[in-house]
Structures are given as C-alpha cells and as structure tokens.
Structure 1
Amino acid sequence: MYMIDRVGVVGLGYVGLPLACALASKLFKVIGLDTDLEKIELIKKGETPVYEEGLQELLKKVLEEGSLKLTSSYREMIEESDACFVCVGTPSNPDGSVDLRYVKETVEMISESLRWVDKYFLLIIRSTIPPGTTSNLIKSILEEKSGKKPRQYGLCFNPEFLREGRALHDIFNPDRIIIGAIDEKSKELLLDIYKRFHGESMPPVLITNPTNAELIKYASNVFLATKISFINMISQLCQRLPNADVKVVAEGIGMDKRIGREFLDAGLGWGGSCFPKDVKAFLKFGEEMGLCFKLVESIIEINESQIENAVKLAKELVGNLNGKKISILGLAFKPGTDDVRESRAIRLIEEFLKYGVEIKAHDPKALEKAKKILGNRVNYCKTVEECLTGSDLCILATEWPEYKKLNQETLKRHMRIPALLDCRRLYDPEEFREIKFAAIGLGPKEVRGP
C-alpha cells in the first residue's frame, strides 16, 4: 500500500489552519484551501486570521520552507493532493439541528473535481456531523458527483478534539485518535498518516465505523458540558451555604480518579464554537430518534441560569444597576483565543444592557471580533486601567493570565467604587478584604467588603 505524502485541508479557520500548519511542519506537502480570498491572501503573507498560541510563528516557518501552499481552487487542491481533511463549519439551524450546507457544498466541490482525475483519493471529514452522515449523505454525494466506485476512493470520519487556545498542543499531543473508516484501505491510509506524524509518541487509537466515530464526538462534548453544568449547580448551592466554597469542593471531587479535576471549574458556563451547538444538536438528534434527553435539557437550563446568577451577585454588590458603570474584563469565550462565538462574557453584557448599565470592556485579543457583535453599545478599552477608571463594579468574565495580577490597590486607585465580581474564580478572596468582593460559588459569610 502506497503512502500519502500530499495532503489537502479545506477550511482554514480555528480547526483547519492549525492542522494544515502542523502537517506541513512534519514533512507532508500540504495545500490549504479556503473560499475566502481575503483570508487566503492574509495567510500567504504569514498572518493568521484567527489568534491561536504559536500559530503565527509556525505558519511563517512552513511558508518559508515551502511545505504549505494556499489556494481557493478545488481543482488545484485535488490535483496536488492524495487525501483531504474537511474542516468547514457546521453551525446550528434555528431549531438546534445541524446546518450541513458547508459540508455538503465542500464534498460536492471535491467530488466534482475528482471526476476529472484518475487516481485513488482519501476524503477525511473532521467537521462535527450527526451520526450516520458520513456513511449515508457524504458517501452518496461522493459517488454520485465523482463517478467513482467504492474501491476508487477512501472515506473516514476523524473527529477533532481541539481546545481553542491550545489547538497546536492538542494536535501534536492528542489523548486519542478516533478513526471511523468505511473500509480497510481507508483505515490503513489514515492510520499511516498519523503514525508518520506522531512517530514514537503515537497516542492510543480507536478504529471503528463512521457512525460510532460521529457519536463519540458528540458524546464527548455533551459529557464535558455536563461536568461544567454539574459544578455550576454545586456553585449555586455553595452561594447559599455559609463558608462554602465551590473551588474547594471541586478540588475534593476531582481527587477521585473516576471523576478527575478537569472541567470542574465553576463560572459563567460553557460557551464557544462547539459546546453550545453540539449540545443543542445532540438534543435535536435525540428527538429525531424518538428520545427525550431530560439530562441534556437540564444542563442547558443550568448553563443559562449562571448568567442570571452573575447579575444577581452584581446587584448584591452595587444595588440598583440602572446608570451604573461596569467594567468587564475578558470578551473571548476562553483565554488563549480571540473567538467570541457564544461567549458567556458577551451574553452577560447583553443582559446588563437591559438594565441600563454603561459597559466598559477589555480583552487582550478579542476586542475587534467583539465589536462586530456588540457594536457601539459598549466602550472598548485598550488597557485594564482605562477599563477600570470611574467604574462602580469590575467583573472578571474571562480568566486571561494578564488579569491575575489585578489587586485591590489597583481597583481602589481607578474605580469610583472599588468592587469586584470574580466569575472565574481567579482570585483569592483574602487578597480583596478591603473592598466589596463576591465570587461565583462562594458562600455568604465569604462575601466581604465595607
């Protein structure tokens, strides 16, 4: 069996661009495709359209080495590769189901281009899609549009488990690789790509069919969202218990190896590009299968209630919100990225605006993308000090490392009324004893201040 050395990546966003750069850094000849011509020109200059730690440096390196080429032509991509990773978006429809139009359009374009080349080609789907989509919809489009018979092409569903902000780390150091292949040859070729990519550090691999692989992706994200909602439920209880602290409780729970400490951080809830849409899609898929997932409904309800919880804590600190100035630190849905899709910070801001609050906001990376959502309803600040000046309340919404150095002296110096609401449990309450302070998951005896 021959080896695949030339690889295409379609969709150069938060998932596709890090993958393309990583593959190119491991001596694969990679051709990255995106239909956004401005994005292609930007990447050709060595600039990344998304912020991801270490990505711009790696991009410049592979461009200089000539191992990464960029195009907007499917025909060119097919001619210069023998396998292709599809990394296009799968947003939500209004009813929560998955909008597959970008996946369908991509597979159609690839398939039509394959009709004109006489070679075996391996198609690898990385986009998150409902169970059964690869074996049914994608396979039928591929055969119909390309004219190829099953043995003339390969097809796998190969889910990604990347954390934005740590995407490159997760590509080079994955916990596991899941390969859902339609046949033996597809499996062997994709497995060989990973063996050469990882070498001696090859992670555990699970080989299965595409439907199982698709379900593994959804089940993983729903389970992680469940852990977050669970600890946020506990945090709401802690807030009513004198001297209780969810951070300590989470530590104790996480010491149990069966549970683990990860994803047990109380806060504003889960957001971002994956969990919200995948949880809703899983719930909708269950409905289509004739099932009612009460657990999934509950984790969504708990997640939404954390915004109400934060507003309640803000009222306890400063009273009537109308006319108050509130500083929001952090707009990205998590630190390490500029992604503001389904950001809980932005969701919180939108809730505060209903109360007639004046919002000042700061973020190290996400200001420009936040402006596209919030527009001129918010004052955007270039520094933390500017953001704090004249405010009645400071809210930590995204736990960027830069905010860790914030102290009560800084708050007293810049704010009209020094008050801090820690929505990510970044701070030690003992270090803010001289000002009004509250935090998610902290019991009433621990809410201190003059």
Structure 2
Amino acid sequence: MMYDVCIVGGCGHVGLPLAIALASKGKKVCVQDINKESIDFIKKGVMPFQEEGAEPILKEVLKNGNLSLTTEPSSISESEIVIFIIGTPVDEHLNPKFGLMKELIEQYYDYFNDGQLLILRSTVYPGISKKIHNWIHKKGKNMHIAFCPERILEGKAMEELEKLPQIVSSFSEEGLNKSIDLFSLLTKDIVILDPMEAELTKLFNNVWRYIKFATANEFYMIANDYGLDFYRIYHAMTHNYKRAKDFPRPGFAAGPCLFKDAMQLGAFNNNNFYLGHTAMLINEGLPNYIVKSLKAKMTLSETTVGILGMAFKGESDDIRESLSYKLKKIMEVEANEVLCTDPFVKDDRLVSLEKVIKKSDVIIVATPHSEYKKLELKNKKIVDVWNILGNGGLI
C-alpha cells in the first residue's frame, strides 16, 4: 500500500489536525478532499484555519513526505486504513439526514478493498455505524468498520489528540485491534466500547456541554430580569466551592456540533428529550433576549449597534452556526444601523474594530476574543454577557 492512512474529507477542523498528528508519528498519510483550493493552500504549509501549534508540524510532515494531499478518490484504494470525516447533519426540520452518509458510501464504494479498515470519526446518529457495516457487507466488500469519535476542542486539537483518551469501537476483533494500534500512536489511554456505546458517548459529551451552557444562560437571564449583575452571583457560586467548579459562564453556545447533536439525540429518543429541546430554546434564544432587553431601555430604531466578534467561539475564525450572525440579523430589523467586526473572520461585510467603536452607540461583545479584554469603551452602552471586559454582565 502507498499510504498507511487516507483521511476522506481531511481538510477541515477534524481531519487535518489528525492527519498532521499521525504523519508526525511516522505514518504515511494522505488527505483526500474535494476542496482543491484548500488542498493547494495546505500544500504551501499554511493552515486554512486557526489551530494552535499545527503549522510548524504541517510544514515538517510535508517536507519529509509523510503527508500528501489529493482530490483523487483513488487514494482510498492505495491505503490500509480509511478514515471518514463525515457526520450526520440535521435538516431544516431538525431531523437527522441519513441519506448523505449512504450516498457517500456508495460514491466511494468501488475504491474500498477487502480487508481494509474504515474508521468513522465524526459524530453520527446512533446506529449509523451498524448501518454502514451492513450496507458495505451486503454489497459484497469484506471490510472492517470502526467508530472512533473525535472529542477535541477546536483550536486545541494538536494538544488534545495526545492528551485526551481515545475511544475505539468496531464490529470485528481485527478492526478493533487495528484501531487500537493506530490511536495508540497518539495516546496509550484507550477506551474500548461497542459501536453504539461509542456513538452515544460522543453525543452525550456534546449535549451535556450544551445543557450546562443553557443552565448558565437561563440563570443569567433570570438575574438580569431582576436588575442583578449575574457575575456577582457567579463569583459567589464558584469561589472556592468545588461542587460548582465546572459551572460555565453564560454566552453564545453555538458552533457546528452542540445544537446539532442535541437535536440528533432528541430524534434518537423519539423526540422525548425535554432537557435537550429546552436547552436549544434557551441557547438559541439568547440573541433575541439581548435585543429585547435593549429595546426595553432605549429606542433602537435611532441607535447604531456594534457587534464585536462573529466567530462562534473565542480565538477562532469559524463562523459555522455562529449566534453572532443570528444577533446581527435580528438587530438589523430593530436598529438604525448594525456594524460588525472580528479579528479572525474573513467577511467583506465586516468593518474595523476602530470604526465599530467610534460609530456605535451600543456595543455588544458577542465573541470573547482575548483582544477585547483590553478595550476601554467609554460613553457607550455595553452588553457583555461573557464579562470579558470585567465590568459585569448586566444589560
């Protein structure tokens, strides 16, 4: 085989750090992706997104030949292990879309080989791994199917790939052993599960975070409705009190995973998931709540509003499912003018931080980028749900 590992869909936030990490451990890794622009960019040794510590290692593995990139699906046939970075999305009705996964399996089927290991790495609807195993074997290929979910924090992938335990599962002993051998290159802390246990572990992890954020956001809104600064209460809750040490700060809970996975878990449990659906209403409703609270205190139709941060999280350029854009859309209906800025995001509609500060009557810190901590915003109405400025979160 030409490659030890082929990562399909490997130019994104999940696949590329994994490819770089495995290549740095001596594996011959091929990234296969349909995005030629990203491939050409990465071949120059430049990361296409923010990922701490990744670029120097990327340059190294490109130079020593351990990492290759291609748009050609034939690279799948030339690899001992194939890793799919393809999850289960949800549709406009918040139901899981199963067809995409089957279409992709059928699209790549002719490139698969008997005895090959196919690892599913992205979050999937519970039971999808089994369906893929059955689809492939029914069509006549004797492959090993594994589900080994990623659980990295975007931006910290290079650190967490080796720091966090790796979960592995498979439908065959050989598939399991090959998966263990592969991920043991990154860490010796391996957790072995049955495939559906592994699928639910990933969903439960993400949805638990989503619910915790919803709890913080609900507490924030309750305190604010009574004219109280939530962060005084938050300090009292968490200061030297270990049973509340994992209680998160309020803020926009968004991104490509948390909301989607809460909806997948609800669908899996026959839409009998009140905690998850309530968390969705709270978290998705926070932009509306901010607009409503400001509208009660001023005439927004005569106001210029500035939004600081359009990425879905701090120190990131990723705008997927960002609630900053939802806030922008709602505020554009109510305000005289809305100006937006972000130091990482490339969007022609954004303006400079200086312009936002100068022209805005109200400034909303939507994304907690660290560079906002040092801002001195005088004679402005500030909304800082994250309390990144350190002046409290009262609206």
Normalised TM-score (structure 2): 0.92
CA distance in 2, matches of 1:191, 1:48: 28
CA distance in 1, matches of 2:108, 2:277: 38
Structure 1 position 90, deviation (Å): 3.1
Identity between Structure 1 and Structure 2 (%): 31
Among 288, 291, 300, the residue aligned to 1:308: 288
Question: Which residue of the partner structure matches residue 283 of structure 1?
Answer: 266
**1:88·1:102 contact (CA, 8 Å) conserved in 2?**
no
CA distance in 2, matches of 1:78, 1:197: 25
What aligned pairs does 1:197-216 form with structure 2 within 5 A after superposition?
A: 197-198=186-187, 202-203=188-189, 205-216=190-201
Q: 1:98-124 CA deviation, whole Å, 9 max, x = no partner?
A: 224443333334431125xxx521111
**1:126·1:159 contact (CA, 8 Å) conserved in 2?**
yes
Q: How many residues align?
A: 393
Question: Which residue of the partner structure matches residue 250 of structure 2?
Answer: 266
- Mark the structure with the bigger radius of gyration: 1
Question: Which residue of the partner structure matches residue 236 of structure 1?
Answer: 221
Question: Which residue of the partner structure matches residue 381 of structure 1?
Answer: 351
Structure 1 position 172, deviation (Å): 2.4
Q: CA, structure 1 residues 314+244, in 2 after alignment: closer, same or farther (shift >3 Å)?
A: closer
Among 317, 322, 326, the residue aligned to 2:305: 326
CA distance in 2, matches of 1:250, 1:339: 30
Q: Secondary structure at the match of 1:124?
A: strand
Question: Which residue of the partner structure matches residue 111 of structure 1?
Answer: 109
Q: Do residues 165 (structure 1) and 164 (structure 2) align?
A: no
Q: Do residues 418 (structure 1) and 380 (structure 2) align?
A: yes
Q: Secondary structure at the match of 2:359?
A: coil
Q: CA, structure 1 residues 49+144, in 2 after alignment: closer, same or farther (shift >3 Å)?
A: farther
5+ unaligned residues in a row in structure 1: which ranges?
372-377, 430-438
CA distance in 1, matches of 2:120, 2:136: 12
CA distance in 2, matches of 1:92, 1:62: 35
CA distance in 2, matches of 1:157, 1:254: 40
CA distance in 2, matches of 1:42, 1:102: 27
CA distance in 2, matches of 1:330, 1:393: 14
Q: Which runs of 4+ in 1 moved over 4 A?
A: 241-244, 253-259
Q: 1:102-152 CA deviation, whole Å, 9 max, x = no partner?
A: 43333334431125xxx52111101211111111x211222244x233xxx
Q: Secondary structure at the match of 1:40?
A: helix
**1:7·1:31 contact (CA, 8 Å) conserved in 2?**
yes
Aligned amino acid, residue 220 of structure 2: S
Q: CA, structure 1 residues 254+195, in 2 after alignment: closer, same or farther (shift >3 Å)?
A: farther
What aligned pairs does 1:11-50 form with structure 2 within 5 A after superposition?
A: 11=9, 12-50=11-49
Q: CA, structure 1 residues 158+243, in 2 after alignment: closer, same or farther (shift >3 Å)?
A: same
What aligned pairs does 1:355-434 form with structure 2 within 5 A after superposition?
A: 355-368=334-347, 371=348, 378=349, 380-382=350-352, 384-407=353-376, 411-412=377-378, 417-429=379-391
CA distance in 2, matches of 1:91, 1:130: 9
**1:165·1:335 contact (CA, 8 Å) conserved in 2?**
no
Structure 1 position 251, deviation (Å): 6.3
Aligned amino acid, residue 246 of structure 2: R
Normalised TM-score (structure 1): 0.81
Structure 1 position 245, deviation (Å): 2.6
Among 1, 8, 28, the residue aligned to 2:6: 8
Aligned amino acid, residue 157 of structure 1: F
Aligned amino acid, residue 173 of structure 2: E
Aligned amino acid, residue 66 of structure 1: G
Question: Which residue of the partner structure matches residue 122 of structure 2?
Answer: 127
Among 134, 144, 148, the residue aligned to 2:141: 148
CA distance in 1, matches of 2:71, 2:135: 21
CA RMSD of aligned residues (A): 2.3
Q: Secondary structure at the match of 2:306?
A: strand
Q: In terms of mean alpha carbon deviation, does 58-67 or 341-350 score higher?
A: 58-67
**2:88·2:125 contact (CA, 8 Å) conserved in 1?**
no
**1:74·1:109 contact (CA, 8 Å) conserved in 2?**
no
Q: CA, structure 1 residues 360+230, in 2 after alignment: closer, same or farther (shift >3 Å)?
A: same
CA distance in 1, matches of 2:15, 2:268: 26
CA distance in 2, matches of 1:61, 1:279: 38
**1:324·1:392 contact (CA, 8 Å) conserved in 2?**
yes
CA distance in 2, matches of 1:422, 1:389: 18
Question: Which residue of the partner structure matches residue 97 of structure 1?
Answer: 95
Q: 1:328-365 CA deviation, whole Å, 9 max, x = no partner?
A: 11000001221111111111111101114311111111
Q: Secondary structure at the match of 2:364?
A: strand
Question: Which residue of the partner structure matches residue 335 of structure 1?
Answer: 314
